[in-house]
Homo-oligomer: A and B are copies of this chain.
Amino acid sequence: MQQQISVITLGIADLARSKRFYVEGFGWKPVFENDDVVFYQMNGLMLGTWLRPQLEDDMRRPGGDGPGAFSLAHNAPDEATVDSLIDRLVAAGGSLLRKADAPPHGGYRGYVADPDGHSWEIAFNPAWPIDAEGHVTFGI
Contacts and interface: CB of A to CB of B under 8 A. Distances in A.
Contact of A5 (B39, B43, B69): B43
Contacts of A2: 43, 130, 134
A102 interface: no
Nearest to A45: B136
Determine which residue in A10, A39, A135 has the highest number of CB atoms from chain B within 10 A of its CB, and name it.
A135
Contacts of A31: 138
Contact of A73 (B7, B41, B42, B133): B7
Determine which residue in A59, A66, A111, A140 has the highest number of CB atoms from chain B within 10 A of its CB, and name it.
A59
A11 B140 CA distance: 21
A113 B113 CA distance: 23
A41 B6 contact: no
Interface in A110-140: 111, 113, 116, 118-119, 121, 123, 125, 128, 130, 133-138, 140
B64 A133 contact: no
A112 B46 CA distance: 19
A71 B59 contact: yes
A135 to B, nearest CB: 4
Contact of A44 (B29, B40, B43): B43
